Structure 1
């Protein structure tokens, strides 16, 4: 068991010695505003959605276009009188011309244009909703990396302290001043912390990977978040009324705007389907030189279909059902938004109250005590169990404190996400 611990310890130390050098070469120190700027400029999902908006706008151009006129020309292939093919003499040449133009009725063109414009609006709302979602992920990852690195520093402090203690004890064991079992217990604690640190670094790498993808930073690089956060206790959430947050969500959430626009679009489609039941008119004009009952025959006319069998009944009924479903979807989206805001608000209130109950100087006191405890243990003023217990308590308390801080910031971001605003900013 001791040999396995020793091999792990040597490998881990080799890895940690190499890692800082790589991070210095490829690290990117970045503030949150800088990250958001890179995100808006480089994120591929946003760029792809912008092309979807351009595609939807092209539908408006299509809807505005009029139907093309139709023109026909015909001439005789064989002249029975002269018994000639393609006889184009002045007296025997047969020529027929035909022209027609479709005229849409019942405002079909204008209805199609309005339908296409609403489609563009929905696509734009989709873009802003994707922006809202990805921006929340970006900001949450930024603060997550920041607080995970604070926790990582705690592990580094404890590991460095235990490494010094271990090195000192290894010199004293052969002299009989320190029991071997005491050295092994210290080493066991050291290896446990190192293993936990490796796991923590894996978590940081996962969050880093997602964050770098959002801003399109180098995949092999390392993000160093530059955050300035005021840790003094304050009542931010409790000073904002819940109803104002709900009202803000109803006003700013783009998924709700999408649902309302989808309802409008379904109503416009129903209107269009009813208009399609009204027959269109075809105007026509023609000329025939020799093929009619008189020479140089010309005509003008119009045609219209008689709506006896097909009055677009199926599509009208389908469109009517879509309108009913869209109305339900608007109500469902509103209910979902209110539930999300309530959940985020309650979570933020609880996190804020809990964090405000902590002593502001608690972390500084712990950092001071850790060096004092190490010195007292080396002087044999406290027992091994007391020493190990304090190290565990120190780590757990600092880790918990940073987790609570991140939880509060994350709840702020959740409130911003659910209300579609930037009400809470660190």
Structure 2
């Protein structure tokens, strides 16, 4: 077989193009809206959950099917004795002494049991659809909180990276000065100690960020590394009145409550079916008997019915009645729990919002700008090294505290929307 060098040349030519395309994807900044759309299109967990809906629909089709009739063949004789009567032949010269019986039986359910089972399966399908919707909302909530956390990590990583750069510069500068004995070794070691701490923090942040990015890529149904940077700087407008108004409609919007109400209906229809099961079903029969009766060819009709003497399904009816009461209590508790959570979350959001408004403006200024200014003061000997390090770490901690507070506020905002069952 002759090797085709043309294909090899084309493959080698395409390698830089493929690499540049992959690099472009890696450098791309994704918005939360884009990642959520990827979640809807690519998430494998959602695809798997959709099969539950299809299976529920198939169960409805199965519930609509009538029970099959049964056919029984009996009284077949494999030989004949001296007392056999002569019967008309069945085929050619065969069958003068052949006896057999046929019976066809069909079950007919009474009290609309079949329709009641269909209605139960339809409600079970509704529950499956609501479960899928609840899964989707929980995945969106988890994705959004992950993006909020990633945004905080990106800011901290940038800030700590600047700190490492500044202390590396100072380390080189003080290393030379300590060799020239213009500064003490203690000051150089102090800078080295701070540099090691900042590098360790940077490694921890990058490790935490990598773990979170892996999780986000999994949500979006993409290979690891496809999403490496996100832009989640979206302003949040907290309107307490809008949330309070949405609270009035949680029975219509919150999936968990809709599922609880659906389970109530399911319990009620199960109770109806249990009462219907107390009514005996009918079995209609048509039979044919050849040579087994006073007639050589006998055709008869029959009816079989269970007599409700011992079993009148009272236990199952009582269980179904108790299940209705249980679901009513569960729904009432769930609704109260959600309403309490909403009130708590609205109150906590107000606390966070007030704290963010009162945060000192200097604590959220650019770290790079502030460090440049203080480094100039250090070089001009307007401040000491210890003052520079103390300011650097204090300002770093102040900004991180602000970002943590902002992260908690934004996460709680998303949790409140989830509790209300709507996106405001």
Does TM, scored on the shorter chain, surpass 0.5? yes
Aligned residue runs from structure 1 range 127-166, under 5 A: 127-166=132-171
1:90/1:217 CA distance change after superposition, 3 Å:
closer
Distance 1:183 1:229 in 2: 42
Structure 2: gaps (5+ residues): 1-21
SS state of the match for residue 178, structure 1?
coil
Aligned residue runs from structure 1 range 286-325, under 5 A: 286-325=287-326
Aligned residue runs from structure 1 range 276-291, under 5 A: 276-291=277-292
TM-superposed deviation, 1:134: 0.7
Distance 2:234 2:102 in 1: 81
Distance 1:380 1:374 in 2: 10
Moved more, 184-193 or 362-371: 362-371
Moved more, 319-328 or 239-248: 239-248
Distance 2:392 2:258 in 1: 53
Residue in structure 2 matched with residue 63 of structure 1 by the alignment: 63
Residues paired across the two proteins, number: 397
Aligned residue runs from structure 1 range 361-380, under 5 A: 363-364=364-365, 366-380=367-381
TM-superposed deviation, 1:226: 2.4
Distance 2:41 2:101 in 1: 61
1:81/1:367 CA distance change after superposition, 3 Å:
same
Residue in structure 1 matched with residue 72 of structure 2 by the alignment: 72
Residue in structure 2 matched with residue 266 of structure 1 by the alignment: 267
TM-superposed deviation, 1:407: 2.1
Moved more, 400-409 or 265-274: 400-409
Contact 1:111 1:271 (8 Å CA) reproduced: yes
Matched, 1:47 2:34: no
Distance 1:77 1:37 in 2: 73
TM-score (norm 1): 0.87
TM-superposed deviation, 1:248: 3.6
TM-score (norm 2): 0.87
Q: Which runs of 4+ in 1 moved over 4 A?
A: 22-28, 359-362
Moved more, 114-123 or 26-35: 26-35
SS state of the match for residue 310, structure 1?
coil
Residue in structure 1 matched with residue 334 of structure 2 by the alignment: 333
Distance 1:375 1:414 in 2: 45
TM-superposed deviation, 1:294: 2.3
TM-superposed deviation, 1:299: 1.0
TM-superposed deviation, 1:317: 2.1
1:185-216 deviations in Å (ceiling 9; x for gaps): 11111111111222222222232222122112
Contact 1:105 1:281 (8 Å CA) reproduced: yes
Distance 1:328 1:145 in 2: 40
Distance 1:114 1:25 in 2: 50
SS state of the match for residue 248, structure 2?
helix
Distance 2:327 2:46 in 1: 26
Aligned residue runs from structure 1 range 169-180, under 5 A: 169-180=174-185
